[in-house]
Chain A
């Protein structure tokens, strides 16, 4: 192992131990690691967004020779004057930092929100609403290509679970009698789904713990051998 990866391993291991120390109690080492993480993350995202988006997608298209030092492959492309518009809106957005001119940022904000709302509305409506309704409408008895008991039970669970769940959230009628019993079944469906979600969350956390323990094991076995 060379010096670079060796140092990376030590920094990673010490920061991991600092974070895990919170399980004992809150302490300055944990706070240090937490604050370092927040600061490094913010800086990382900003730098990456600049070099991988602003440079090739904005400046590299607006005036390609400008990015020749970083991306020589784009230098010969023809300039796209239309990119002035996103540049202008980007500058308007930054005016938020100047209290006297902050109101100008609303124009860029309005465009961003309007665009996002417009595109998201259509896509959500299609993928999360109409398609999901379509997924719920299915034959209760699965008989093609041959009868399937598992498929039939699955279809019944989906349809009855969806209906009872919807009934639970229907508040215009008092939950009494048959309606109340279906609503009660809806609560059980919700509780089962929450339980499944909790189980999955536990699995995720243990997976991450396993990953960290593997890393610490590697650190114990390799980290104390100084790179030669």
Chain B
């Protein structure tokens, strides 16, 4: 036993990589899934969106790049489907240059496929990317069309029906920011939601989630933290609107490999600690 634990202590790290890879690949191929229960912090976002009257204005930002698509894309797709199902007016935009392809992907995968009857410029608009980080939010706070003069297709936003009555951020009913860093949810709270008194909901990568919990519940309506948060929103959406079951379960399906990989990591942590404390290393350090 002691020899085994000693060997564990000196294990080649590449074996751990292989174990983690297998822990992800096998459940992925086998299609392993687990039940997902929506927690109040995610349910709040769902309930808010669900309670907004038809025609309410929602800013939906894709402040993330391709590197975090597996976490962020299921969130934004589920929120967009929900908002369009409720016939809300959706204003898509990004403060990340790498967010442009994500908005294009939303147009192709959600708007064109699930809601082909919705008219661009009337029911939804893609305002594209603007450089300037929180400066753009600051500018849109008092002059929204000034900050986004044209949409992603080059149309003057002042001529679009969806922009009627939109002058500043305070004219919106909800801001949903799906982000993976700076600028992101924090900046939308600081420069958009807080000063304009517009509720802000967030969806962020798991790395960023612990930094944003302090804003909940007064400054942040709710928060989707990582893939688990996305899966919880999808579960709430599918529970209320089962017609999205086949299209909006991306995160739920990815939580299978996630769970197995976590179990493997926990096993390695336990094994590593046992090997450390029972092996010679611990005694050597104490003496």
A76-88 vs B, CB cutoff 8 Å, 1 = contact: the mask equals 0100000000000
Q: A74–B149 Cα gap in the complex (Å)? A: 9
Interface residues of A in 113-149 (CB under 8 A from B): 115-116, 119-120, 123-124, 126-128, 131-132, 134-135
The winner among A70, A128, A204, A213 for most chain B CB atoms within 10 A is A204
Task: Report the count of interface residues on B (CB-CB < 8 A).
Answer: 54
With the chains together, A115 CA to B132 CA distance in Å? 12
Residues A52 and B131 in contact in the complex (CB < 8 Å), given A73-B155, A123-B195, A201-B207 = yes
Q: Least Cβ distance of B104 to chain A in Å?
A: 13
Does B43 lie at the interface of the complex (its beta carbon under 8 Å from any beta carbon of A)?
no
Report the Cα distance A200→B28, complex, angstroms: 21
Query: Which residues of chain B in 129-185 are interfacial with respect to chain A, using CB atoms and an 8 Å cutoff?
Result: 129-132, 134-135, 138, 149-150, 154-156, 159
Q: Pick out which of these stretches binds chain B: A28-36, A53-61, A175-183.
A: A53-61
Asked if residues A73 and B205 are in contact (CB atoms below 8 Å), the reply is no
Which of A71, A123, A203 has the most chain B CB within a 10 Å cutoff? A203
A97 at the binding interface (Cβ < 8 Å) = no
B251 to A, closest residue via Cβ: A207
Query: Residues of B contacting A206 with CB < 8 Å?
Result: 20, 24, 257-258, 261-262
Q: Which listed segment binds B: A42-50, A102-110, A166-174?
A: A42-50
Closest to B156 in A: A73
In this complex, what residue of A is CB-closest to B97? Answer: A48
Task: Verify B206–A207 contact, CB threshold 8 A.
Answer: yes
Complex CA–CA separation, A77 to B150 (angstroms): 12
- Give the CA-CA distance A68 to B254 in the complex, in Å: 46
Residue B122 CB within 8 A of the other chain: no
Contact indicator B14/A210 (Cβ below 8 Å): no
Most B Cβ at <10 Å: residue of A52, A115, A193: A52
Q: Which residues of A contact B130 (CB under 8 A)?
A: 52-53, 57
| Interface residue ranges, B against A (CB under 8 Å) | 14, 17, 20-21, 24-25, 28-29, 67-71, 97-98, 100, 128-132, 134-135, 138, 149-150, 154-156, 159, 189-191, 194-195, 205-207, 209-210, 214-215, 218-219, 225-228, 254, 257-258, 261-262, 265
